[in-house]
Amino acid sequence: MKKLQQSALRISLIYLAFASFWILFSDGIVLWLAGDTRRLAEWQTAKGLLFVAASSALLYSLIRLNLGRVTQLLKARLNHESRLRQAAAVFESTQEGVLVADKNNRIVHVNPAFSRITGYAAKEVLGQNPSLLKSGRHDRQFYEEMWQTLQRQGFWSGEVWNRRKSGEVYPQWHCIRVIHDEAGVPSHYVAVFSDLSAIRHSQSELNHLANYDPLTDLPNRLLFSERIEQALQRQQPDRPGGALLLIDLDHFKHINESLGHSVGDQLLKAVAERFANLQSGSTTLARLGGDEFGLLCEDLDQAAQAGAKAQRLLDLMSAPFNLNGQEFFIGASVGISLFPTDGQNVDQLLRNADSALFKAKSSGRESYAFYTQELTQQARQRIELAAALRHALENDELRVYYQPIHDLESGRVVGVESLVRWEHPERGLVPPGEFIPIAEEGGLIGAIDLWVLEQACRQMRQWQQTGIMLQFIAVNISSRLFGRAELDARVAQVLEETGLSPSCLELEVTESAVMDNPDAALELLERLHRLGVRLSIDDFGTGYSSLQRLKRLPVHKLKIDQGFVAGLPDDSEDAAITRAVIGLAHNLGLSVLAEGIEQPEQALFLLQHRCELGQGYWFGRPQPAERLRLKPHPLPAFWADNI
């Protein structure tokens, strides 16, 4: 606008100078040109016309010269107004709060986002000092340093905690800039800020998800490891140590497999709520994954205190869990490592507690065990054996031993049970109790079972071809192999390849394997039964068989677990269970085989209660086929008088 005024003034001054020159000198020039007063009127007229023409030409030239500049000025003004409108639209619609203060630090303008974030309406803050938003969380030095930066650099940015109208204190990210006038003097301050409370809340949620179990809301393995690390760092010579307890639920997979994962999740939440009763200021309870929990206890100066804590955990599991109106019973096993004696770092403590947990499970479950150095050695041996076992099949290190099965009344051998042995090139024969669990954990047991099945069938055919006629050869089928739907096809294939009659093969399946998935087990047993093979339930009495399901199973025989035979005939409970199993089997039309017979008195008791078959060290230990004794077992003289 100012430039337009200057341009108009310049045109007016030029025109004034031209007009003044014409008035002062035009008459004399006309008289000089006319020379004769008679023609003076004509020259006056010509002078007027010439003035009009000259002034018009002058004005045209001046206006044309300035028209381009005026056009540019008008365009610049329009652009400026457009930018102002855009800035105003941004100012009004931006999600960031904007506050404008004058040089006296009085608020002169705020945008709608300011009101939304702070809770103050514009009329409540106009004319006020921005200090009315202070939270009180920053000291005087903080604001002094902020103003010094503004004066020195012209802008400042950083995090500020302010207070809403409601009184809530919240974090902002603040950017303040100084606005100067034409003289370079500060005239205004513009503050643009963002509300960080939502971001902080999201960060808090992400941190919670990263460090806590979503099902039980307990610390997860990551946070639990950090707590252990912190506990170790706090350890001092004059302070008591602590304990790390790993808790694993016993047979939890049966809940998931039989009732579904939703019920399993409910049970885990209920277990977590019970365990939470043991928490205090010096303990941390965590869910480490699956059905495994961890309990970190600081300030425990004696192993007995850790044992008492573990026993309390086990006691908490003794009461039933009521879920959806149904009662559930589930036990737990606990492994304990003490610090700093059992480990100086997190990994070592967790590893040692896990070794102790394995010991507790191997000892019968529903118990606790402490870590010892011996457990570490055993764990290393398990790792070494697991690696070596993978090569045992390839290197022809496995052997099949056979244990005779006798008719208790006559003593003659009616069959044999096939048992796998591992002849390690350095250690010699590895006890089955060592490598069978490793094979089960590593998933090798299925391949080993199939190898034993093939070897046993071939051996049975060789005996038949040499005139040794046994009624059957028994082969153990692990839970892992029994869980494969194609088992019947593999059995049929082996029988066809070896030429053995199906009636000469007996497959022993554990009671627990059948009850893992009763419906699928029944279907598979029926297919095996149609092949013509014998079927036997092994370790009967140690699982949770349903009699309703048992009577539907197409099996031929029940095997009494050696744990019940060991107490015969003196242990009244073992005797009662044994009599009940024999009676149940006979009522269902099944024969009975007792394993683990080591004394003649045991065999006599079993025979007196109509158990037909038996096997055990009294009859003979498992032997390779070439050393196996298949002759009738000599019976004591008193045998005939007591049956």
Alpha helices (runs of H) in 276-364, residue ranges in sequence order: 303-316, 346-362
- Spatial CA neighbour of 407 closest among 278, 234, 597, 272: 597
Question: What helix, strand, coil percent values describe the chain, rounded to 5?
Answer: 50, 20, 25
543 pLDDT exceeds 60? no
Reported confidence tier of residue 243, pLDDT bands at 50, 70, 90: confident
Q: How far apart are CA 30 and CA 23, in angstroms?
A: 11
Q: How far apart are CA 349 and CA 229, in angstroms?
A: 10
- Contact in structure between 438 and 386 (CB atoms under 8 Å): yes
- Contact in structure between 207 and 110 (CB atoms under 8 Å): no
What percent of the chain has a predicted confidence (pLDDT) above 70? 80
29 pLDDT exceeds 90? no
455 pLDDT exceeds 80? yes
88 pLDDT exceeds 60? no
pLDDT tens digits, residue range 551-577?
778 889 999 888 889 988 888 888 998
507 pLDDT exceeds 90? yes
The residue to which tokens 């108009």 are assigned: 8
Q: How far apart are CA 277 and CA 286, in angstroms?
A: 13
- Spatial CA neighbour of 171 closest among 156, 159, 183, 158: 159
Q: Which CATH number fits domain 212-371: 3.40.50.2300, 3.30.1360.170, 3.30.70.270, 2.20.28.10?
A: 3.30.70.270
Q: pTM to 2 decimals?
A: 0.54
Q: What is the dihedral of CA 457, 459, 464, 466, to 10 degrees?
A: 160
DSSP code at position 636 = P
Reported confidence tier of residue 360, pLDDT bands at 50, 70, 90: confident
pLDDT tens digits, residue range 270-279?
888 888 877 7
The number of residues in the chain equals 643
pLDDT tens digits, residue range 11-27?
666 666 766 666 666 66
What would the two tokens of residue 288 be? 């480490």
| pLDDT for residue 23 | 63
637 pLDDT exceeds 70? no
For 505, phi then psi, to 5°, come to: -110, 130
The answer to whether the 94-200 and 388-642 domains have the same CATH topology is no
Q: How far apart are CA 323 and CA 262, in angstroms?
A: 11
Alpha helices (runs of H) in 532-565, residue ranges in sequence order: 547-550, 562-565
Reported confidence tier of residue 28, pLDDT bands at 50, 70, 90: low
94-200 CATH fold: Beta-Lactamase (3.30.450)
Instruction: Report the mean per-residue pLDDT for the chain.
Output: 82
pLDDT tens digits, residue range 395-422?
888 999 999 999 998 889 999 999 999 9
Secondary structure (DSSP) of 85-98: HHHHHHHHH-SSEE
Q: Give the residues across from 294 on adjacent strands.
A: 246, 286
| pLDDT for residue 417 | 95
55 pLDDT exceeds 70? no
Q: How far apart are CA 331 and CA 448, in angstroms?
A: 31
- Spatial CA neighbour of 527 closest among 507, 497, 550: 507
Q: Where are the domains of the chain?
A: 2-92, 94-200, 212-371, 388-642
Reported confidence tier of residue 426, pLDDT bands at 50, 70, 90: confident
160 HSE (CA, 13 A, CB side): 23
Question: Looking at 431-488, which runs of residues are DSSP E strands?
Answer: 472-477
Q: How far apart are CA 558 and CA 611, in angstroms?
A: 10
Reported confidence tier of residue 459, pLDDT bands at 50, 70, 90: very high
How many CB atoms neighbour CB 537 within 10 A? 24
Tell how far CA 375 is from the center of its chain: 28
The residue to which tokens 């003196």 are assigned: 570
pLDDT tens digits, residue range 170-183?
898 889 988 888 77
Q: What is the dihedral of CA 111, 112, 118, 120, to 10 degrees?
A: 90
Q: How far apart are CA 514 and CA 547, in angstroms?
A: 13
pLDDT tens digits, residue range 572-629?
888 998 998 899 889 888 999 999 999 999 999 999 999 999 999 999 899 999 998 8
Reported confidence tier of residue 69, pLDDT bands at 50, 70, 90: low
114 pLDDT exceeds 60? yes
- Contact in structure between 554 and 529 (CB atoms under 8 Å): yes
The residue to which tokens 């004394």 are assigned: 599
Tell how far CA 93 is from the center of its chain: 42
CATH says 388-642 is which class? alpha beta
Q: How far apart are CA 386 and CA 441, in angstroms?
A: 9
Higher pLDDT, 240 or 160: 160
Secondary structure (DSSP) of 47-69: HHHHHHHHHHHHHHHHHHHHHHH
Q: How far apart are CA 310 and CA 227, in angstroms?
A: 19
- Spatial CA neighbour of 505 closest among 479, 476, 525: 476
SS3 assignment, position 212: strand
Q: What is the mean pLDDT of residues 535-564?
A: 77
| pLDDT for residue 403 | 94
Q: What is the mean pLDDT of residues 318-337?
A: 84
| pLDDT for residue 8 | 58
